[in-house]
Structure 1
Amino acid sequence: MTSESTPPVEAPGRRTVVAAVGAAGLAVALTACGSSDDTSSSGGSGTQAGANASGGGSGSGSGGGTALAKTSDIPEGGGKIFKDRNVVVTQPAAGTFKAFSTRCPHMGCAVSSIAKGVIVCPCHGSQFSVEDGSVKKGPATSGLTAEKVTVSGDSITLA
Structure 2
Amino acid sequence: MTSASLQPATGPARRTVMAAAGAAGLAAALTACGSGDDSSDTVDTGSGSSGTAGSAGSAQDGGSSAGGAALAQTSDIPEGGGKIFKDQGVVVTQPTAGTFKAFSSKCTHQGCAVGSVANGVIVCPCHNSHFSVEDGSVKQGPATKPLPAAKITVSGEEIKLA
Q: TM-score, normalised by structure 2?
A: 0.70
Match status 1:107 vs 2:110? yes
The answer to whether residue 139 in structure 2 is matched with residue 131 in structure 1 is no
Give the letter for the 2:79 counterpart: E
> What does 1:9-20 align with in structure 2 at a 5 Å threshold?
none
Aligned residue for 1:147, secondary structure, equals: coil
How far apart, CA to CA, are the structure 1 residues paired with 2:60 and 2:50?
19
Tell me which of 145, 152, 156 is aligned to 2:155: 152
Going from structure 1 to structure 2, the CA distance change for 1:62 and 1:36 (only over 3 Å counts) comes to farther
- The aligned residue for residue 51 of structure 1 is 50
Q: Runs ≥4 in structure 1, deviation > 4 angstroms? A: none
Partner of 2:33: 33
Where does structure 2 lack aligned partners over 5 or more consecutive residues? 1-24, 41-48
Please list every run of 5 or more consecutive structure 1 residues that lacks an aligned counterpart in the other structure: 1-25, 41-49
Structure 1 CA distance, aligned partners of 2:69 and 2:157? 14
Cross-structure match for 1:7: none
Contact kept, 8 Å, 1:81 with 1:87, in 2: the verdict is yes
State the TM-score, normalized to the length of structure 1.
0.71
| 1:99-123 CA distance string (max 9 Å, x none) | 0010001101000101211000011
Is the contact made by 2:131 and 2:139 (CA closer than 8 Å) also made in structure 1? yes
The answer to whether the 8 Å contact 1:148/1:158 transfers is: yes
Moved more, 53-62 or 69-78: 53-62
**C-alpha RMSD of matched pairs (Å):** 2.4
The Cα of 1:32 is off from its aligned counterpart by 6.2
Whether contact under 8 Å (1:35, 1:108) holds in the other structure is no
1:11 counterpart residue number: none
Q: State the secondary structure of the residue aligned to 1:84.
A: coil
Please tell me the residue identity of whatever aligns with 1:89.
Answer: V
The 2-side partners of 1:36 and 1:87 are apart by 16
CA distance in structure 2 between the aligned counterparts of 1:73 and 1:121, rounded to whole angstroms: 21
Q: Which has the larger radius of gyration?
A: 1
Amino acid at match of 1:150: T
How many residue pairs align between the two structures? 126
Q: Which residue does 1:15 correspond to in 2?
A: none
Matches of 1:96 and 1:138, distance apart in 2: 26
Identity of aligned residues (%): 69
**Partner letter of residue 51 of structure 1?**
S
The code of the aligned residue for 2:33 comes to C
